[in-house]
Amino acid sequence: MSVLHISEVTKTFSGGTHAVNSFSLDIADGELVCLLGPSGSGKSTLLRMVGGFEQPTSGRITIDGEDVTHLPPERRPTGMVFQSHALWTHMNVFKNLAFGLKLRRMPAAEIKEKVEAVLELVGLAGYGDRMTTQLSGGQQQRVALARSLVLEPKILLLDEPFASLDQHLRERLREEVRDIQQRLGITTLFVTHGQDEALSMADRIVVMANGKTEQIGRPDVVYRDPKTPFVAGFIGTMNLIEGEVQNGQFVRSDFTFALPIIDGPATLAIRPEALELTVSDTPKAQVHRVTDYGSHGLVDLDLADGTRLKSMVAHPDLFRAGQGVDLLPKAVAAYRDNQQIFRSGM
């Protein structure tokens, strides 16, 4: 049973910049939570505070009820996997993994047994004698993960561990890491700025911006029901259209949409897959470009005032550049003053 509790944590750097601002989060035993946000959103600083590499300016961090806020990293029951692997290149794979166990004065036979078991777990059995510089990027990242896992930490911290890997390897490794995490049932906090990673791995996603939580929820919920325009724009692809509501109609250029809210400015959010197109003699938009991805197509559209929208279509061959089309949104959300004020079909 390993529960992480982050309460009202703030980190202010010299100059008064709030990297993390009054952040709270509870992570249940065995849960994998992704901190997702753009660069500078404070997600890595928060992870480093949990790991003990940064001290919070205020707030409290507990693991299984024990206050670890002011403990140094070496005394915390956490294990961190770094973005750059951070392997010790003067040691071979076995020594990299055994180092932490030796510091705990474990008998040599037990160290050997544990290291071999964890190498087996990450698919690197028999690699103990290799120098880390002889390994590929993916293998190095597995060693970094194994180095953390071999110490059986209560909380596993992953700081953009796949950022330096190519797309194919990244996809493979995230599946492997998720499998290992579920098999071991280890409570995990994962930092990424890749929404695919967050959506495919996490039990819950915490979307962060400017050191604050924008939204916390299951990946499907965050994707389907973004509570702020920032989340709507950050998770997946989203058409965000700024406009005015007049007499129950959202208006932007020639595009109108029935929106039963009080008159005033609003932002309309429509996913490309929820924006259907029909070829029309009284077009609301003009096709700019059609991209065929094989399984589906992506149509770039321009409203009369030049606003660019995207629509995902099943048959891209039906559309061509310069064509006039009508827009039929099937699911929308509307935002005003940074709050969701209307949602339909999402």
Partner 1 sequence: MSEFVERSVSAPAETAASRRPIGLLLVALPVFLVIWLVIWPAINAISRTIWRTDTDGNSSFDLSSYAFFFSDRYSLDNLAVTLWTTLICAVLLLVICLPIALYLRFAHGRLPAYVQALAILPMFVPSIILAFAFIRVLGPNGMVDILLNAVGLPKIRTPYLTPWGPVIGLVWDNIPLTVLILLSGLGSVANQSIEAARDVGANAFRVFWHIILPRISNSILVALSFSVLGIFSSFTLPYLLGPASPEMLGPFMQRTLRDLQDPIGAMTQAVVAFGFCILFGLFYVRSVARSRGK
Contact residues for partner 1, defined by CB under 8 A = 51-53, 72-75, 78-80, 82-84, 86-90, 99-100, 103-104, 144, 147-148, 151
3-state secondary structure of 299: strand
Question: CB of residue 168 vs partner 1: minimum separation in angstroms?
Answer: 25
Q: What one-character DSSP code corresponds to residue 246?
A: E
Instruction: Return d(Cα 44, Cα 326) in angstroms, integer.
Output: 44
- Name the minimum Å distance from CB 70 to partner 1: 15
Q: Which is nearer to partner 1, 80 or 186 (CB)?
A: 80
Q: Bridge partners of 310?
A: 300
- Environment class of residue 224 by beta-carbon count within 10 Å: exposed (0-12), middle (13-18) or buried (19+)? middle
Do the beta carbons of residue 276 and residue 330 sit within 8 Å?
A: yes
Per DSSP (E only), the strands in 99-162 are 155-159
**Which is closer to partner 1, CB of 79 or CB of 229?**
79
Q: Is the dihedral of CA 194, 199, 205, 206 positive or negative?
A: positive
> Is 3 or 91 the residue whose CB approaches partner 1 more closely?
91
Q: Give the angle subtended at the CA of 162 by the CAs of 160 and 163, to the nearest 5°.
A: 70
- Please, what is the minimum distance in Å from the beta carbon of residue 317 to partner 1? 44
Nearer to partner 1 (CB atom), residue 40 or residue 77: 77
- Compare residues 84 and 280 and give the one whose CB is closer to partner 1: 84
Token reading at 46: 């928060």
Residue among 222, 166, 232, 169 at smallest CA distance from 198: 222
Minimum Å gap between C-beta 82 and partner 1 is: 5
Nearer residue to partner 1 within complex by CB, 30 or 77: 77
CA distances from 140 to 96, 155, 188, 225, 301 (A): 11, 21, 20, 37, 44
What is the closest distance, in whole angstroms, from the C-beta atom of residue 45 to partner 1 in the complex? 14
* Residue 9 DSSP class: E
Q: Which is nearer to partner 1, 130 or 212 (CB)?
A: 130
Residue 204 beta carbon to partner 1: minimum distance, rounded to whole angstroms: 24
> At 319, which amino acid appears?
F
Cβ distance 266 to 250 under 8 Å?
A: yes
CB of 153 to partner 1, least distance (A): 9
Q: Which is nearer to partner 1, 103 or 314 (CB)?
A: 103
Smallest gap, in angstroms, from Cβ of residue 104 to partner 1?
Answer: 6
Q: Cα(163)–Cα(156) distance, rounded to whole angstroms?
A: 17
Task: Find the Cα–Cα–Cα–Cα dihedral 165, 168, 173, 175, rounded to 10°.
Answer: 150
Sheet hosting strand 155-159, strand order edge to edge:
78-81, 155-159, 187-192, 32-36, 204-209, 212-217
Please report how close the Cβ of residue 282 comes to partner 1 at its closest, in angstroms: 56
Residue closer to partner 1 by CB (options 92, 340) is 92
